[in-house]
Structure 1
Amino acid sequence: MKRRTLVLGGTAIVASSLAAAAIWPRRYIVVAARPFDWKGTDFLSGGTKSVALAKLPPPLFRTRPNCVVTVAQTLGPCHVNDVPARQDISEGKAGLPLRLAVRIVHAANCRPVQNADIEIWHTHHRGIYSGRDAAKMCTLSDAEAVSGLAFRGRQRTDEAGQASFLTAYPGWYEGRTPHVHCRILVEGKELLVSQVYFDDTLSDIIYGEHPDYLGRPPRNTRNDDDGLIPENAADHIFDFEKLEGGVLSATITIGLSS
């Protein structure tokens, strides 16, 4: 069985590729901290056009997730309605290819939530949102951004409570640290609107070294400076794995209170 390393927001464990099928006791994993040993140039550039989601290994989740309620956060002015159901949400735009996998569970017992409707949205590699109906502060009136729905999509979770998207690592914009918005509905009822974040060290590597993100000023807001991140920030930061071929995999477990 091939062993794979999952980096937990700056810390690491080694887990088997069958980890996602485990039944998880309700406790935290204690692991040793370590920095990322990756380079921005280790990853593919130019977006997802050369990546086939079906050929990537299954997403690797923590074997013992923190079965806690994910804190609700603001919907924000950049949300739009009627986004398409799809896996590749990049619409051919540039950026480091990112397989973003979400597992939705009942926080009370860690049981998966099947057939939940999860919608996600985030900026492109230069920090701009898409969508004609998004506020001008989100699109900066960029004609290409306004005309499309890049980096927006929705899916239904499977029997394991999981859904995977193919996208690109989001860029930063002034006043916010990099993040992905999510909205979850079950049987048509909105149960959660929240945001998920990226490890600062990893963002520094990508923004400083990956060719698709060069040429911009240094970002002015890190996780510790962003007033919208909940106090339990560790529960809202993706875990990461560098896949063969230069694709980054990000995973998160979202706990619903209902």
Structure 2
Amino acid sequence: MKRRTLVLGGAVIVASSIAAAAIWPRRHVVVAARTFDWKGSDFLSGGTKSVALAKLPAPLFRTRPNCVITVAQTLGPCYVNDVPVRQDISEGKAGLPLRLAVRIVHAADCRPVNNADIEIWHTDHRGIYSGREAARMCTLGDAEAVSGLAFRGRQLTDEAGQASFLTTYPGWYEGRTPHVHCRILVERNELLVSQVYFDDALSDLIYGEHPDYLGRPPRNTRNDDDRLIPGRDAADHIFDFEKLEGGVLSATITIGLSS
């Protein structure tokens, strides 16, 4: 029986692969003291070209999901319209391969939301957004970034309220901690615009050791310093993560809708 480890914000839960396949409220999970001994070389580099999303193990979510209302945040100047429906949103760009899985639930009772339209966007490994419509402060006028739509995509959730994207770990940029934007519509009604964040220790490891992220100066903003991250509710807006066999990083989050 293979065991998988999901790292939370300060703890570790361990579940068997058999248990992980069960319906999430009934999965047996053991909470233990956090361990974190990975190295940058433990992960793949060069983007997602060698990764098949269908062959990765099912996303592992917390036994007790974050059935709380996810705080709304600004859409921001880097949003663009008409992004494609797709799973691999990296467009072949460099970076640490990241399977990003989202579970959308009704916050009141944890019921999964089927057919929710979730759109995500984030920067490349250099901290640059794509998109011709995005403000110049987002693309920095980079010709390749302006002409493409890398690291942007949308999907509909399944009956379990889940959707998975294949991407790479986002880079940092001045004034912000690493994050992923999301916009959720149900029956064409916008119910939430928000952002999800990464564990500081994980970002330190990747930016300091992974070959695709070296060569930039140290980031100047951490989670505690970011003015946009929800203060009291910050823990509910940070991805849980695990290192999959083969060097792919998996990040999961439960997003609670208020209606």
Q: Distance in 1 between matches of 2:30 and 2:224?
A: 22
Instruction: Report whether the alignment pairs 1:206 with 2:182.
Output: no
How far did 1:80 drift?
Answer: 0.2
Give a deviation string over 1:137-157, Cα, whole Å, max 9, x none.
000000000000000000000
Deviations 1:156-209 (A, max 9, x none): 000000000000000000000000000000000000000000000000000000
Q: Which residue of 2 aligns with 1:61?
A: 61
Give the aligned residue type for 2:88: D
Aligned counterpart, 2:243: 242
| Unmatched runs of 5 consecutive residues or more in structure 1 | none
Aligned to 1:91: 91
**Contact 2:90/2:151 (CA < 8 Å) preserved in 1?**
yes
Runs of 4+ that moved beyond 6 A = none
- Aligned-residue Cα RMSD (Å) equals 1.5
Percent of aligned pairs sharing the same letter:
89
TM-score normalised according to structure 2 size? 0.95
Q: Is residue 108 of structure 1 aligned with residue 108 of structure 2?
A: yes
* Structure 2: stretches of 5+ with no match in the other structure: none
For the pair 1:37 / 2:37, whether they are aligned, the reply is yes
Cα distance in 1 for residues equivalent to 2:174 and 2:120: 21
Structure-1 residue corresponding to 2:196: 196
Q: 2:25 aligns to what SS in structure 1?
A: coil
For 1:52-201, list aligned pairs within 5 A. 52-201=52-201
Aligned partners of 1:19 and 1:63 also within 8 Å:
no
- Secondary structure of 1:235's aligned partner: helix
Distance (Å, rounded) in 2 between the aligned partners of 1:212 and 1:162: 29
Code of the aligned partner of 1:94: A
After the TM superposition, which of the residue ranges 31-40 and 236-245 deviates more from structure 2?
A: 31-40
